[in-house]
Chain A
Amino acid sequence: MSEKEYIHTVTINKKRCIGCTRCLRVCPTKALRIRNGKAIILQDRCIDCGECIRVCPQKAIYSKIDDLDIINNYKHKLLVYSSVLIGQFKKYKNFKKILNLMSYLGFDEIVGVDIGALIISDVIRSFLKHNRDKTYITTNCPAVVRLIQVKYPSLIDNMLPFKNMMDVAGEYLKKEYMKKNQVKEKNIGLFYLSPCPSKAQAVYQPEGEVKRIFDGVFSMEEVYNNLRYIMEKKDIHLDKDIELENVTESSLKWSTLGDVDSQFKDFTSLRIDGIDNVIEFLEEIEEGDFKEIDLVDMYSCQNGCVGGVFTNENPFVCEHRIRHIASSFPDSVDEIPPICEGDYCSLSKPLKPRPVEPIDKNMSNAVKKMKEIEEVFKKLPKLNCSICGSPTCYNLAEDIVLNEDVSIYDCPVVLRRNLRNMAKDLFEMAGRIDPIEEKKDKE
């Protein structure tokens, strides 16, 4: 059903994977299986949320993204960083010192994603004023966007028709830089510093866009390591004054913590974080709207983006630091940065659903297969132990009916029951005396 190939950054290192099933059990879309002793990803189901990366004890799952040195391929190098970065440093509670430190990375211009939050919040506010017909969902977390495309296609119209804040920040930075320095677009390399694989994936394949906005993406882990390395050098100066005119307390909090309330005071808004909570809420919205809620800001990670897979600091500590830093900024700015030359906040094309294929295109065949699945499921122990290589007993039943390589004997409980019954039969059979021998004995 998908119109183009799905690009994933989440990748499995087969050499490291021991098939332990840990990832199977946390995957929210049941996109993982263990086959031939190794984890595999079902491409049409994966939403790149990175929960599997988080739990893998072997560090066998990783996100395949760019190395920092690709910036050297471009004459002008621009970076949008996830503002979560400012909460990662122990002794750098001073925002300006962190920015000074980042200036050693080799970029010509750097902005935080909070500039995108500042710009887009204004656009969303005026949209919500005229659209109070349903509960709208923000597009900030790409894992949530893809979850809706794959599992909740009926909620596509609940998504705000706007870019997420990182893309807005990217468009803004690029346009501003081109205008200020009279530079052609082809000479610019625009990069994103991501707290998670989901946003990294969105750089390679932005939903609702015709072309890529960023030229590359780096993980916060890699950049953090680089910055720590720079900090060890003797000749760095971190006291240069940097003007911060477009930073507000609320944009900083919204872009890092999903603190949506502070940005949308005139509306009823909710932040929902953690993929299980997101799923529960989407299920409920799908079954009946929450008319009293205007806006939901959803994040796949617990605590929002501070809980991203690429962050190294404890999310609660990080949140505390960011709140501390944010409180030193004004609540609002006199003038929101101009949305220059055209509307760059709206999505370039409508978001499209990408539902998992039905079990059969013909409905009566599909119903037959559902019956078969139910029959197989009845025979399974319903322990959901994942040892068979499918995440739950129901998934195994589906895999048995829909995939010829999978057998009910992959279930260790069924296998043992069958072996026991066979052994009983064997024992009974072996205990019988051969009728021919019996005759001989009598003679």
Chain B
Amino acid sequence: MEKILDFKIKGRDFINAGESTSKMKNYFKKIGISSKIIKRILVASYEAELNVVAHADSGVMEIFVDEDKIVVTVEDEGPGIEDIDRAMQEGFSTASDEVREMGFGAGMGLPNIKRNSDDLEIESEVNKGTRVKMVFNVS
């Protein structure tokens, strides 16, 4: 598995969340990934990034190439997810009012990530942090 890109994520910085998206997009276009798969990777990664922005102080996103797969990991030192199964349900949200007022936190984040990735692993420990690993088949 070879790392190709990495980004630091800053909590509560909604405006700059998404800058990584355009960098990833340009990179994927150049290495010849089809636009449909790029869109799925971007949607899932953006949601994962936003989860960090909305809940944690900081985090890291890393993108890897593994033969014919793209792997995106997003790791934070945030509050953690108490009940992952519940968080996977559409509409479930713990977002604060501040976050909801900005048009985020509708409870579609994790379901959206699941829908757009080919494989998803979530490890989380309350008060420690969360690690999301998304796998996309590109061939």
Contacts and interface: CB of A to CB of B under 8 A. Distances in A.
Interface of A: 153-154, 283, 286-288, 353, 355, 357-361, 363-364, 366-367, 370-371
A363 B22 contact: no
Contacts of A360: 31-32
Task: Give the residue among A154, A357, A367 with the most B Cβ atoms within 10 A.
Answer: A154
A135 to B, nearest CB: 15
Contact of A366 (B25, B31, B39, B42): B31
Contacts of A288: 43, 46
Given A286-B25, A370-B27, 5 more contacts: A358-B29, A361-B32, A363-B138, A366-B30, A370-B31
For the residues of B in contact with A, the DSSP-based class is helix
A331 to B, nearest CB: 37
Contacts of A355: 29, 35
A371 B27 CA distance: 11
Nearest to B68: A363
A325 B111 CA distance: 55
Contacts of B4: 367, 370-371
Interface residues of B, number: 23
A154 B46 contact: no
Nearest to A151: B29
Contacts of A283: 22
B30 A359 contact: yes
Nearest to B2: A367
B31 A287 contact: no
B29 A287 contact: no
Contacts of B38: 154
Contacts of A361: 32
Given A154-B38, A283-B22, A363 B30 contact: no
B18 interface: yes
11 contacts: A283-B22, A287-B42, A353-B35, A355-B35, A358-B31, A358-B32, A359-B32, A360-B32, A364-B65, A367-B4, A370-B27
Nearest to A357: B32
A355 B28 CA distance: 12
A363 B32 contact: yes
B53 to A, nearest CB: 15
B93 interface: no
Interface in B14-35: 18, 21-22, 25, 27, 29-33, 35
A293 to B, nearest CB: 15
A288 B40 CA distance: 11
A256 B43 CA distance: 37
Contacts of B29: 355, 358
B31 A154 contact: no
Contacts of B43: 288
The 7 A-B residue pairs whose C-beta atoms are closest, nearest first, are A358-B32, A154-B35, A366-B31, A153-B35, A367-B65, A287-B21, A359-B30
A287 B28 CA distance: 13
B46 A366 contact: no
Interface in B34-77: 35-36, 38-39, 42-43, 46, 65, 67-68
A260 to B, nearest CB: 26
Contacts of A359: 30-32
Contacts of A367: 2, 4, 31, 65
A328 B42 CA distance: 50
Nearest to B27: A370
A153 B32 CA distance: 12
A358 B30 CA distance: 5
B68 to A, nearest CB: 7
B65 A287 contact: no
Contacts of A370: 4, 27, 30-31
Nearest to B4: A367
Contacts of B27: 370
B77 to A, nearest CB: 27
Contact of A287 (B30, B33, B35, B46): B46
B73 to A, nearest CB: 17
B31 A363 contact: yes
B9 to A, nearest CB: 16
B83 to A, nearest CB: 28
A38 to B, nearest CB: 27
Contacts of B22: 283, 287
Contact of B32 (A287, A353, A366): A366
A364 B67 contact: yes
Nearest to A358: B32
Task: Give the residue among A363, A366, A370 with the most B Cβ atoms within 10 A.
Answer: A363
